[in-house]
């Protein structure tokens, strides 16, 4: 058996984003995302051929702000299809950075494999001077090909840092080191193609997630509403007309005015599930008996509002019972 035959097989699924963006040569701004093929990015890192056998799948070519639930469902289907192949050892997804954390968390709950799934992207387009995409992609492929990554759930790789899908969040909109985590810490780090994983997720994910055992055609509509000083309840009335659930982005520990409390209690009694979250970056929102004496709301725990919306949408495919949804938020 040749050396190449012994190497891991990695599927790279391209969805677009800045990593596949192009613009004026050398410039980092005024570019269009998802306009070039990721094969061209791979061609700029020939040393990747010494790490893994690569197979490309061009699923989408979009800016990540165009990502939606139907694209997510198509991506889950593609990942599961590729992961079911015995000869495939891992999967890398190239993605725009703006909504990468949401896609990663959705995949973390819905893909059904223990094989490594790694998302990566870039803050600079492929045509920029010192584009960061090639090195991120190089390390993502090396991570997906490493046995240490098996069973870690969906991960993201940026600037030599390994993030969990649940913990990653975009914290900067112009530096190449644009991501951080929600206080839980990174899973590990990389030095070139060497992998150093120091911790593993304890929340349920991938094959351990009940949501990964289902095949979804669509998802219940869950809205996100932000509370601010003086925010009118008309905002809640408007979204309640087409929502099965509402995630409220509150202040502090998931707080909002008495007027909003009254309106949300009314909506909860009309069978709309209400989740309290916070606009504070590293908040933990617990259930509050004093704030919510009738136990009508669910606390988002350590999830960001955007990830809480995703989990609530999946929860609503199974139940509307507050106690069961509350347990899901503690488990996932």
| Whether the predicted pLDDT of 178 surpasses 60 | yes
Is residue 330 within 8 Å of residue 297, measured between CB atoms?
Answer: no
| Across 54-63, 84-93, 304-313, least confident range | 54-63
At 229, the pLDDT band (50, 70, 90 cuts) reads very high
Read off the tokens for 144: 């997906």
By the 8 A CB rule, do 130 and 124 touch? yes
- Which residue among the candidates 15, 18, 113, 120 is catalytic per the annotation? 18
Vertex 129: Cα angle to 127 and 134 (nearest 5)? 70
**DSSP code of residue 232:** -
pTM of the full structure: 0.94
DSSP code at position 279: S
Check residues 296 and 16 and name the one with the higher pLDDT. Answer: 296
Q: Does the annotation count 18 as an active-site position?
A: yes
Q: How confident is the model over 122-140, as a mean pLDDT?
A: 86
pLDDT of residue 39: 80
- Of residues 42 and 211, the one with the higher pLDDT is 211
Contact assessment for residue 254 and residue 272, using Cβ atoms and an 8 Å cutoff: no
pLDDT of residue 35: 66
pLDDT on residue 184: 75
Long-range contacts of 83-89 (CB under 8 A, 24+ apart): 83/111, 83/112, 83/113, 83/115, 83/117, 84/113, 87/9, 88/9, 88/10, 88/11, 88/55, 88/115, 89/8, 89/9, 89/10, 89/52, 89/115, 89/116, 89/144, 89/145
Q: Measuring CA to CA, which residue among 166, 51, 155 is closest to residue 105?
A: 166
The Cα 199–Cα 164 span in angstroms is 10
180, pLDDT greater than 70: yes
Q: Are 239 and 246 in contact (CB under 8 A)?
A: yes
């Amino acid at each position: 058996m040749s050396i190449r035959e012994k190497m891991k097989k990695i599927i790279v699924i391209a969805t677009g984003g800045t990593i596949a963006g192009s613009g004026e040569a050398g410039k980092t701004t005024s570019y269009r995302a998802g306009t070039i093929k990721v094969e061209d990015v791979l061609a700029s890192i020939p040393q990747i051929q010494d790490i893994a056998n690569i197979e490309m799948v061009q699923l989408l070519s979009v800016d990540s702000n165009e990502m939606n639930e139907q694209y997510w469902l198509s991506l889950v289907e593609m990942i599961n299809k590729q992961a079911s192949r015995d000869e495939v050892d891992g999967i890398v997804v190239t993605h725009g950075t703006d909504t990468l954390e949401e896609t990663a968390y959705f995949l973390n709950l819905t893909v059904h494999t223990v094989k490594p799934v790694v998302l990566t992207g870039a803050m600079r387009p492929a045509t920029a001077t010192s584009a960061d995409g090639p090195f991120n992609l190089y390390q993502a492929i090396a991570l997906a090909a490493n046995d240490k990554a098996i069973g870690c759930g969906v991960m993201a790789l940026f600037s030599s840092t390994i993030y969990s899908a649940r913990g990653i969040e975009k914290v900067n909109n112009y530096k190449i080191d644009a991501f951080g985590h929600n206080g839980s810490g990174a899973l590990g780090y990389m030095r070139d193609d060497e992998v150093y994983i120091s911790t593993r997720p304890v929340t349920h994910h991938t094959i351990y997630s009940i949501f990964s055992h289902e095949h979804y055609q669509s998802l219940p509509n869950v809205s996100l509403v932000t509370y601010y000083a003086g925010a009118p309840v008309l905002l809640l009335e408007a979204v309640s007309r087409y929502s099965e659930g509402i995630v409220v982005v509150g202040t502090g520990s998931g707080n909002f005015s008495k007027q909003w409390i009254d309106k949300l209690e009314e909506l909860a009694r009309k069978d709309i599930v209400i989740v309290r979250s916070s606009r504070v970056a590293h908040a933990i929102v617990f259930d509050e008996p004093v704030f919510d004496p009738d136990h009508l709301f669910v606390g988002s725990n350590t999830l960001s509002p955007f990830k809480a919306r995703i989990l609530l949408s999946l929860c609503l495919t199974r139940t509307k019972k507050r106690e069961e949804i509350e347990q899901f938020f503690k488990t996932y």
